[in-house]
Amino acid sequence: MKKTNPSFLNGVPELLVLRLLSRREMYGYQIVEEIRTQTGETLSFGEGCIYPYLHYLEAEKQVSSQRREVEGRNRNYYKLTARGRKRLEALTTEWKRVTTGVSLLMEEQNA
């Protein structure tokens, strides 16, 4: 696995975090683990770097947070807001458009 993610992935973290939070509420560690496992360890968040990112999304009102005790542990749980859901839809559409275009070009080159 590469140590760092390529620079063309800028903007992908927002999409991934919003996508994961659209399924259920999660806390920082869970999000990092989910990204790692669900992308087959292709992508990974630097541990700890997720928090400023989540705070940024919270300041943008795309996610909201609540501190809760679950199984004896206090954690900040993040969930998607209506604005976040709209943003996710826009990012998903954009992502599909870009990947379709890039795939077409790559396939043409391979053919």
Q: Which two tokens stand for residue 60?
A: 């943008």
Name the percent of the chain in helix, strand, coil, to the closest 5.
60, 15, 25
Dihedral (CA of 65, 79, 14, 84) sign: negative
> Least distance in Å: CB of 67 to another protein?
8
Exactly one of 37, 40, 59, 111 binds another protein (CB under 8 A); which one? 59
Complex with another protein: residue 22 or 44, whichever CB lies closer: 44
Q: Which distant-in-sequence residues (6+ apart) come within 8 Å of 1 by Cβ?
A: 41, 42, 44
Distance between terminal CA atoms of the chain?
28
Is residue 109 a contact residue for another protein (CB under 8 A)? no
Q: Judged by CB under 8 A, does residue 64 bind another protein?
A: no
Among 38, 41, 49, 102, binds another protein (CB under 8 A): 49
Cα 92 from Cα 30, distance rounded (Å):
22
Q: Quick check: 37 binds another protein (CB under 8 A)?
A: no
**Interface with another protein (CB under 8 A), residue from 29, 86, 93, 97:** 29
Q: Can residue 66 be called a binding residue for another protein (CB under 8 A)?
A: no
- Residues forming contacts to another protein in the complex (CB under 8 A) are 4-7, 9-13, 27-29, 32, 35, 43-49, 51-53, 55-56, 59-60, 73-76
